Amino acid sequence: MKIALIGYGKMGKAIEQIAQERGHSIDAIVNSSNSIDLNDLSNCDVAIEFSTPELATKHIVHCFNHQIPIVVGTTGWHHELESIKTICGEVDGSLIYAPNFSLGVNIFFELNKRLAELMSGNIDYKAEVVEVHHLQKLDSPSGTAIELANEIISYNKTYTDWKSSNGMKPEVSSSILPITAIREPEVPGTHTVMYQSVIDSILMTHQAHNRKGFALGAVVAAEWIFGKKGVFTMSNVLNS
């Protein structure tokens, strides 16, 4: 495939390496000094987008309008998801979005749902989510932490909403799930789901050692969406 990279930071460079190892070519690069409006993407089969929350929807709509399937790993824009889905349907576009493209994290999501089911009703255990990322991470909490929290709320009747804070656990009522977001140098991403009681603690952690897992998942998603129409997530990729 011929791939357009939208965003050429550390993730973009990792995706470039993985894509080329899998026999694909990078035919366009969009970055802060070379906007998408200045690029001819007509020869590209698919776009992979890891940029900023402020630019993500612009990039998505641009690819829709030019009939280029797009894989979006940027988070922090999902409040606009419903309008993006509407536009996608109107122009017959193609989109895969995910809070995290790591295959390991998507398995972690499934384990999180099952654990939330098992712990539902066990009021002696209090749940929380902790995420740690590098200092350049723009959104807080991470999209992955939000996904984990929303899954817990969906599968555990104890919780109705979540609340986050930076650097320390937020003060919450018993029905609110706390998320702690921590920023440290050179941390690709660590997410922990905890259930704690006065007797013991249950911890489930996914720790990324580098960006290769995210990059591989994004390229696999790009391979999967080629030739398809509609809005998809990584669960579609993993369960196909």
Query: What are the pLDDT digits (tens) for 18-73?
Result: 999 999 999 999 998 889 988 889 899 999 999 999 999 999 999 999 999 999 99
- Are residues 233 and 170 both part of a single domain? no
The residue among 39 and 196 whose pLDDT is bigger is 196
What CATH number corresponds to the domain at position 59?
3.40.50.720
Is the pLDDT at 7 greater than 90? The verdict is: yes
Q: What is the Cα gyration radius of the chain?
A: 19
110 and 76 share a domain? Answer: no
Q: What confidence tier does 163 reach under pLDDT thresholds 50, 70, 90? A: very high
> How far is residue 223 from each of residues 61, 73, 155, 195, 217, measured CA to CA in Å?
20, 15, 31, 37, 10
pLDDT of 129 above 90: yes
pLDDT > 90: what percent of the chain?
A: 79
Confidence bin at 103 (pLDDT 50/70/90): confident
Q: Which residues pair with 230 in a beta bridge?
A: 94
At residue 238, the pLDDT reads 83
According to the model, what pLDDT value does residue 29 have?
A: 95
Mean pLDDT of 213-229: 94
Based on the domain organization, do 133 and 228 belong to the same domain?
Answer: no
Residues tagged active-site: 133, 137
More confident residue, 40 or 2: 2
Do 66 and 129 share a domain, yes or no? no
**Are 148 and 198 found together in one domain?**
yes
CATH number at residue 171: 3.30.360.10
Can you tell me the mean pLDDT for 220-231? 96
What is the CB neighbour count within 10 angstroms for residue 190? Answer: 17
The angle at the Cα of 44, spanning 39 to 45, to the nearest 5 degrees, equals: 150
- 111 and 84, same structural domain? no
Specify the pLDDT at position 72.
97
Share of the chain above pLDDT 70, in %: 100
Q: What is the pLDDT of residue 121?
A: 85
Q: Is this structure's pTM higher than 0.75?
A: yes
Strands 25-30 and 46-49: unpaired
- Which of 237, 205, 203, 236 minimizes the C-alpha distance to 219? 237
The parent domain of residue 155 ranges over: 103-207
Examine the domain organization and report whether 107 and 193 are in the same domain.
yes
103-107, 148-152, 154-158: lowest mean pLDDT where? 103-107
What's the pLDDT at 239? Answer: 81
Question: Structurally, how many domains does the chain consist of?
Answer: 2
Are both 137 and 124 inside the same structural domain?
A: yes
Greater model confidence, 194 or 100: 194
Contacts of 141 (CB under 8 A, 6+ apart): 129, 131, 149, 164, 179, 181
Q: Is the pLDDT of residue 138 over 90?
A: no
Looking at the fold, whether 112 and 202 belong to one and the same domain comes out as yes
Verify that 146 and 216 share a domain, yes or no.
Answer: no
Contact at 8 Å (CB) between 47 and 39?
no
- Same domain (yes/no): 163, 129: yes
In angstroms, the CA 91 to CA 54 distance is 22
Q: pLDDT at residue 82 above 90?
A: yes
Per-residue pLDDT, averaged over 230-234, amounts to 95
What is the predicted pLDDT for the residue at 18?
96
Whether residue 50 is found in the same domain as residue 142: no
